[in-house]
Structure 1
Amino acid sequence: MPLFGSSGTGETELRQPGQFGPYFLQELINRGGMASIWLATDAQGKAVAIRLLHHHLRFNLAAKRRFLRGCEILSKIHNHEYVIGYMAHGKIDGDRFLAMEYVEGENLKLLFARTDRVLTENIGNILIDTAIALEHVHESGFMHLDLKPENVLLTRNASVRLVDFDLARPKPDKPKKMSDNPGTPAYMAPEQIRRQPIDHRVDIFAYGVSAYELLTSRKPFPGDSPDEILRKQLDRSLDFVAPRELNPDIPAALEKAILKCLERDPDRRYPYMSVLVRDLQAALYV
């Protein structure tokens, strides 16, 4: 069975291991387009993860605003076992940083790419725990808006951590048109790609795409552009394949839940993650 992961190439990392305010940067773990992640230790010698906005973006107002928003939202919702832990954020020597819980593990995208046994042997619990994490985000008053395998970490003992809240927004009482269109097209709901008003149900759609991909090793609506993805979302006769046709081991009740997440009309999707969590637990006998 499949999964999701994290990767990225950014600027050449100029920073070297060493002291960074009260932290000591030990090792560069990952580097993306906007920030790098370091394994560090705090003043007490405890391991922490430090996310650093790239130095060349320090004067980029949009990047700073996005980075800061992710920090502030995480600080409000992190008190949950399936959301990455928040420690502090701020600016040291002109560089924006976020100090987080350090966990030994990788994102689902990377684990999926190599068919890792930790993923395949615990897929039921991973699906449920990721849904519970998203339920917590929604109940805390936010939409994630970039749910995908790359933004779910899995520890060595198969514990989930939802990460990366840079694109998150407050959850509106009714669908609201966004001034921008954040997200990753392959995981976006039709109304999101069309730049129509959205609410938390776009996250439920993204969850369905991720679960489908994880269980079948392919995306439900593959495409090289947002327009192509949207066409396939709206016309399921093009090449949509039900999950159980690709993987007969998927329980029928789980397939039904995934298909409900993937409804093109948000009113036909699950209204709340709590209802989806209940159905997942029933389908997977957990």
Structure 2
Amino acid sequence: MKNIAEFSQQYEIDYARPLPARGLGSVYRAKDQEEQLLALKVLELHPNFDDGLFGRLYEGAKKLEHPHLLPYQVVHIFREEEVVQYYILMDYCAGGNWASRSSQLTTEEKRALLQDLVKLLIFLEKEGHCLQNLKLEHLLFKEEESLDWQLINYGAKENLPNYFHLDYAYLAPEQLQRQAIGPAADIWAFGVLLTAFWTGQLPFGQKSPQQTNAKIKNRILKGELPRELLRRLPLDLRYLVEGCLQKEPAKRWPSFEALAAAWEAGPAKDYAQSWEAAPSAEVSVLETLAYMGQEAEKTEAPKVEEQSEKTPFLERKFKRQKSKPITIWEILLWLGGALALGYYLSSLS
């Protein structure tokens, strides 16, 4: 297939109603000549941003086979003028993603889904694929009334550039600092995903006009666990997440196999004691606003520039002093002085 015009002759594309997409490119419904419903991802890149990375990603993904991996059927690459366009066809999943249905699932269903996800991540880890962009929105249910699910965008054997990520909520500190990336980045993302899936809140914030990527990045790089939010997790899941969200990669679970083994064994008996010291298991209002991307802006007092007698007068900045309230004693003193002055003046006349 040589160009987009030929592609459009073979597939009917619904450009008017794009599907939700949380990454680069747009996603649409499409039908082939046999009326089979498909999902079409369209990705447009300037040649300066494309060194064949996305072609390698999708070609590598096509070699992987697993019941929980959404297969890429066809990948077309078109070059027109100064734009490289990727047209990727895949099966259409009609059941929504894990984030949209998490509130409808029971505790047992959530645990079963998470256990299956860990098994898939072990498989990808053994294949040498580092996801680098694991998130709830990439886990799709195939049908509305079914819990059968599949993962899209399932990683690479090379590091992905930061412009690949439009949302920093799931990124590990080393990704944000552009350091060497390995399996530990996926361990971090799993901790974020588990927390969001169970509580409905992302531990470091959800991108929004108020909650920018810069604010999310600052929270992640602080290296502080969102302990009040984690208290809403069952103890065994809290134990897993704490081992995932360590700022230093070497301090996280070394692999998904190790994570699975730790989950099966459970935390030590004295682990709960480290969480009993807090006065309350409720999330504060301020923390909730932070997680939802509506944290109140904290304004710092303006710094006063240092000045000296040598500073030219017209360049000096004078700070207006805040006035103090007048007290009753000052008023009585003024009245007494006025009466005394009146008496003195009257005696002169």
State the TM-score, normalizing by the size of structure 2. 0.60
Q: Within 2, Cα distance between the matches of 1:47 and 1:70?
A: 24
Q: Within 2, Cα distance between the matches of 1:108 and 1:63?
A: 31
Are 2:8 and 1:20 aligned? yes
| Shift in alpha-carbon separation, 1:278–1:102, aligned structure 2, 3 A | farther
Letter in 2 for 1:152: L
Superposed displacement of residue 208, structure 1: 0.5
Superposed displacement of residue 90, structure 1: 1.0
Superposed displacement of residue 226, structure 1: 4.6
Contact 1:52 1:97 in 2 (8 A): yes
Are 2:70 and 1:89 aligned? no
Letter in 1 for 2:200: S
Structure-1 residue corresponding to 2:98:
108
Higher alpha-carbon Rg: 2
| Shift in alpha-carbon separation, 1:31–1:219, aligned structure 2, 3 A | closer
Q: Structure 2, unaligned stretches of length 5 or more?
A: 206-210, 267-349
Identity %: 22
- Which is bigger in relative contact order (C-alpha 8 A, separation at least 6)? 1
Q: Pick from 124, 133, 138: which aligns with 2:125?
A: 138
Structure-2 residue corresponding to 1:6:
none
Are 2:150 and 1:164 aligned? no
Q: Within 2, Cα distance between the matches of 1:282 and 1:161?
A: 27
Q: Within 2, Cα distance between the matches of 1:196 and 1:150?
A: 25
Letter in 2 for 1:39: R
| Shift in alpha-carbon separation, 1:24–1:196, aligned structure 2, 3 A | same
Superposed displacement of residue 278, structure 1: 4.2
Q: Within 2, Cα distance between the matches of 1:227 and 1:45?
A: 45
Q: RMSD value over aligned CA atoms?
A: 3.2
3-state secondary structure, aligned to 1:169: coil
Contact 1:130 1:160 in 2 (8 A): no
3-state secondary structure, aligned to 1:122: helix
Superposed displacement of residue 84, structure 1: 0.8
Are 2:209 and 1:202 aligned? no
Structure-2 residue corresponding to 1:4:
none
Contact 1:185 1:229 in 2 (8 A): no
Structure-2 residue corresponding to 1:98:
88
Superposed displacement of residue 30, structure 1: 1.3
Are 2:19 and 1:30 aligned? yes
Superposed displacement of residue 107, structure 1: 1.9
Structure-2 residue corresponding to 1:246:
232
3-state secondary structure, aligned to 1:50: strand
* Runs of 4 or more above 6 Å deviation: none
Superposed displacement of residue 210, structure 1: 0.9
Contact 2:221 2:247 in 1 (8 A): no
| Shift in alpha-carbon separation, 1:146–1:179, aligned structure 2, 3 A | closer
Contact 2:173 2:221 in 1 (8 A): no
Q: Within 1, Cα distance between the matches of 2:106 and 2:96?
A: 10
| Shift in alpha-carbon separation, 1:277–1:45, aligned structure 2, 3 A | farther
Output one character per residue of 1:192-221: Cα deviation in whole Å (capped at 9) or x when no partner. 222222211101110001101211232323
Task: Map 1:110-259; keep pairs closer than 5 Å.
Answer: 110-112=100-102, 115=103, 117-118=104-105, 122-155=109-142, 156=144, 157-165=146-154, 168-170=155-157, 180-181=161-162, 182-183=164-165, 184-222=167-205, 224=212, 225-232=215-222, 234-236=223-225, 240-241=227-228, 243=230, 245-247=231-233, 250=234, 252-259=235-242
Q: Within 1, Cα distance between the matches of 2:91 and 2:29?
A: 10
Q: Within 2, Cα distance between the matches of 1:119 and 1:51?
A: 32
Q: Within 2, Cα distance between the matches of 1:24 and 1:216?
A: 40
Are 2:248 and 1:265 aligned? yes
Q: Within 2, Cα distance between the matches of 1:144 and 1:231?
A: 21
Contact 1:148 1:210 in 2 (8 A): yes
Contact 1:48 1:102 in 2 (8 A): yes
Superposed displacement of residue 150, structure 1: 1.6
Greater strand proportion: 1
Q: Within 2, Cα distance between the matches of 1:209 and 1:129?
A: 17
State the TM-score, normalizing by the size of structure 1. 0.72
